[in-house]
Amino acid sequence: MQARWFAYLSPTEPSLLEDTLITPANSLSHQVHDHYLPQLIPHNPSDLHDADHLTTARNSLYNIDGLGVAWYTTSYADFERGNTGHSSDGLETEGLWPAVYKAVQPPLNDLNFRSLCRNTETRCCFAHIRAASGTPIATVNNHPFLFGRHAFMHNGVVAGFSAIKRAVCGEMSEAAFGAINGGTDSEHLAALYMTYLTSGGDASTFSKTYGVREMEEAMRHTVATVIETQKRLLGSKAAPNSLNLCATDGIRLVAYRFRNHATEQPPSLYYSTKAGTTLNRKYPDHPDGIDIAGRFEGKDVEEHGKHLIVASEPSTYKAEDWELIGKNQCVLADPVSKVFEVRDVAYEKTWDAEDPSAA
């Protein structure tokens, strides 16, 4: 089973959660049942004759097992530092920190979620709806997963996770392992990522920020560890993984679209640097291309700040505003160092695995 996720990042332009996560006809809240997948080819290109592209593209029809949203704010830092310049526990608090809301009911039926989205703006948001793959349906297993100021989410599956779980945990730092609250493969990926990002540091290192190249290397190391552990413990029985991964510190972002199979495609993943204007009621146009009486359009499109959206599916009617991320590619974004790249990830041919269902 697969999930859906949505990430918004801008150094200057706040987005209202209601505009991005609820209002559009194909917003994340509607992707519980409905899907829009332009440019997407089937899971295996040889299956182009197959009419059920949603299934062959490894995009689940139903994502009904929980939701989570993390948004970044300076509130904690503003109040905790006060006039002293120091936090109560001695840890760094300056800058953006994530708040999180999680629930197991569908988002459009969750009045708390709708109220939160109507009254919350942010320059960085991670949101996720879950399709469980064996672990319990509980808020503790919902994405995004937080480690200090860092957030992490995943769409896909670590193949044979139960068989490699113990070995993977052995690679983690004490702090990262201790921060795991649930049982999903995804949260264990997050802990492994934090281990590599912090060079095995203690919990205080979760409050630090790191360069986007360091984040990229931690993500690559995480993927490599999973695959190499599978090959070592499972040998020829190791199956391919679907790893659509995303991590942020509220300022920088790294995202992967990955599957270690010679021909099969990962779940869908798109990016946009334009759709944010359509997803903001302060600017002209509507995400569904319709006129809404009384909708506030007080600003010109040219006034909108630079931004990046990475999402499992486009959420606006303008397909041309969205680019499909290629198989085994990553997106890097760091407004501080003016980095924005979409490129191939480091890949070893020996990582190719066979899908047992195709045998």
Residues 11-50: tens digit of each pLDDT: 999 999 999 999 998 888 787 555 556 565 554 445 444 4
pLDDT confidence tier of residue 79, bands split at 50, 70 and 90: confident
Task: Give the other-Cβ count within 10 Å of 294's Cβ.
Answer: 5
pTM: 0.89
CA–CA distance, 108 with 32 (Å, rounded to integer): 9
Preceding peptide of 11 cis, ω within 30° = no
Averaged pLDDT for residues 190-206: 97
Alpha helices for the chain (secondary structure H): 17-21, 53-56, 75-81, 111-118, 161-170, 174-178, 185-197, 212-234
Higher-scoring residue by pLDDT: 26, 331: 331
d(CA 19, CA 346): 36
Q: Calculate the average pLDDT of the chain.
A: 87
For residues 49-69, give the mean pLDDT.
57
**Residue 56 pLDDT grade (very low, low, confident, very high; cuts 50, 70, 90):** very low
CA distances from 357 to 32, 56, 265, 352 (A): 25, 12, 15, 15
Which phi and psi (to 5°) does residue 187 adopt?
-70, -30
pLDDT attached to residue 83: 54
What is the per-residue pLDDT for 77? 81
What's the CA dihedral at 293, 295, 301, 304 to 10 degrees? -170
Distance of CA 195 to CAs 70, 170, 325, Å? 21, 11, 27
pLDDT value at position 106? 81
Kindly report, residue by residue over 125-164, the tens digit of the pLDDT.
999 986 656 665 667 789 799 999 999 999 999 999 999 9
pLDDT at 64 over 60: no
Contact at 8 Å (CB) between 179 and 205? no
* Residue 328 to residue 241: CA distance in whole angstroms: 11
What is the pairing mode between strands 242-248 and 270-272? unpaired
Q: What is the pLDDT of residue 136?
A: 56
